[in-house]
Amino acid sequence: MSNRFLASMAVLTGLISVVSLAHVTIQGQARSAAPNAKATTWTPPLTPDGQPDLQGVWSYATLTPLERPESLAGKAFLTAADATEFEKQQAGNRIKIDDAPLPPGQVGGYNQFWYESGTKVVADKRTALVVDPPDGRLPPLTPEAQKRADAHWKMLKGPAAGPEDRDASERCILGYNAGPPMVPGGYNQNVQVIQTRDYVVLHTEMVHDARIIPLDGRPHLPQHFRPWSGDSRGHWEGQTLVVETTNFSDKTWNQFNRWNMASDENMHLVERFTGVDADTLRYEFTIDDPTTWTKSWTAVNMLTKTEGQMYEYACHEGNYGMVDILRGDRLRETGGADKGATKGASVVR
C-alpha cells in the first residue's frame, strides 16, 4: 500500500475537520489569545545538570485546526458545549471517509484503527492553533512565494520525471507533520525529548527524525550547509527551552501542509517548550520568512505526555512506493496504464 494514499487520507481527515468546525455554532468570548497568555506557576523537576526536566514522550495530536475557518472570523473560542459537539462530529466524519467510494484507480488507505487524529480540541477551546495574527489565519504569501506554491502544485498534478518532482514527504525524507515545526495531522504525532547537559534531542516518530540541538552557544552552520531539518541551536530562558532553527532548504515543501508549500531557505523558526504541569508541555513556534510571508506568524499547541512507546515509522520501506509512482507515470506516458486511473492521485488540495 503506497504511503501517498495513506497520507492523503490523513490530510482529507484534517480538511473535513476544518469544514465541520465552521458549522459549529459559536458564541464569541472576550479572551486574549496572545502567544504568552498561558502562564504557569508549576515548578518542573530538574535534571542532574540543573535544567528543567522536559523529558518523555509527548503527543501533539489535536482536533483544533492550524487555521481558524473563515466563517468563524472574530470567534476565537468555542463554548464547552460547542467543543463537545465538534468532537462528536469528527468521530462520525472519520468513519464516513472510510466508507466513501474510492476514486477510480485507487485502492484506499488505512481504516480508523490506524489514525491518531486526536479526540479533543485544545484545552482552552481555541478555534485555531494560530494565535498571531489575531484572526487565527496564516498571513498572505508574497507574490514570489505564491508563484513557488503554484509551481509545486502543478508539478504534483503532472507525471513525475524523477523523484525530485515529488514532495519531501512522498519521498520519505521528511514527515509531513514532524516539521520543524511540529504541526498536528494524521498519525504518528509523537515526539520524544531527551536531555543531556550539552544537548537536547527531539526525536519525532514520523520518519523517525532526531534533531540534535546543541546548548553550548555555538554559532549556526555556514550558510552553504542546508540540512533537511535546518540547523537548530538551543538555550534556556528560565523554565523555557528556546530552539532557534535556520539554514533551511528550499526542497522541504510538501503537499500536506499548506503553510509550507512555498517554503524557501530563508525561513527563521523559533520554538519554545515550557512545562505547564507534569503531563502538559506548552509548545509555541514563530515563523519569520519575509520572502514567503507578508508577516511573521505564531502558533501554540499543548503537548500531552504519553506512556506509550515510540514506534518505527517505515514510510514506504525500501522506497518501493517511489519506484511504483515513477513506473506508473512511465506506463501512462506509453499508454500502458489504465486510462481511468486518476493522475496525481496523491494530491489533496
Place of cell 510538501: 254
Most confident of 19-33, 59-73, 125-139: 125-139
Cα separation, 110 vs 176, whole angstroms: 17
Helical pair 80-99 and 3-22, crossing angle rounded to 10 deg:
140
Q: Kindly report, residue by residue over 246-272, the tens digit of the pLDDT.
A: 999 999 988 888 788 998 899 999 999
Using the predicted structure, report yes or no on whether residue 38 has a pLDDT greater than 70.
no
pLDDT value, residue 52? 97
At 290, is the pLDDT very low, low, confident or very high (cuts 50, 70, 90)? very high
- Comparing C-alpha atoms, which of 205, 203, 200, 174 is closest to residue 189? 205
**Mean pLDDT taken over the chain:** 82
Q: How far apart are CA 260 and CA 162, in angstroms?
A: 21
Does the pLDDT of residue 313 top 50, yes or no?
yes
Q: Is the pLDDT of residue 15 over 60?
A: no
Beta bridge pairs of residue 242: 235, 272
Which residues face 305 on adjacent strands? 58
Q: Where along the chain do its domains lie? A: 3-334
Quick check: 58 pLDDT over 60? yes
Spatial distance between the Cα atoms of 56 and 61, rounded to a whole number of angstroms: 16
Helix, strand, coil % in the chain, rounded to nearest 5: 25, 20, 55
Q: How far is CA 179 from the centre of its chain?
A: 6
Give the separation between CA 314 and CA 329, rounded to whole angstroms.
Answer: 24
Phi, psi (degrees; rounded to nearest 5) at 245 = -125, 130
Residues 6+ apart with CB under 8 A from 19: 69
How many whole angstroms from its chain centre is CA 143? 24
pLDDT tens for 293-311 read 999 999 999 999 998 788 8
Structure confidence at residue 3 (pLDDT): 41
If DSSP states are collapsed to H, E and C, what string results for 277-320?
A: ECCEEEEEEEEECCCCECCCEEEEEEEEEECCCCCCCCCCHHHH
Stronger pLDDT, 348 or 158, i.e. the higher one:
158
**Which candidate, 1, 27, 54, 108, places its Cα nearest to that of 276?**
54
Local structure of 203: helix, strand or coil: strand
- Is 233 or 120 the better-scoring residue by pLDDT? 233
Which of residues 343 and 260 earns the better pLDDT score? 260
Position 195 pLDDT exceeds 60: yes
pLDDT of residue 310: 87
Section 129-140 average pLDDT: 96
Amino acid letter for position 301 = N
What's residue 186's pLDDT? 83
pLDDT, tens only, 199-224: 999 999 998 889 999 999 999 999 99
Average pLDDT over residues 227-234: 96
Question: Which pLDDT belongs to residue 13?
Answer: 40
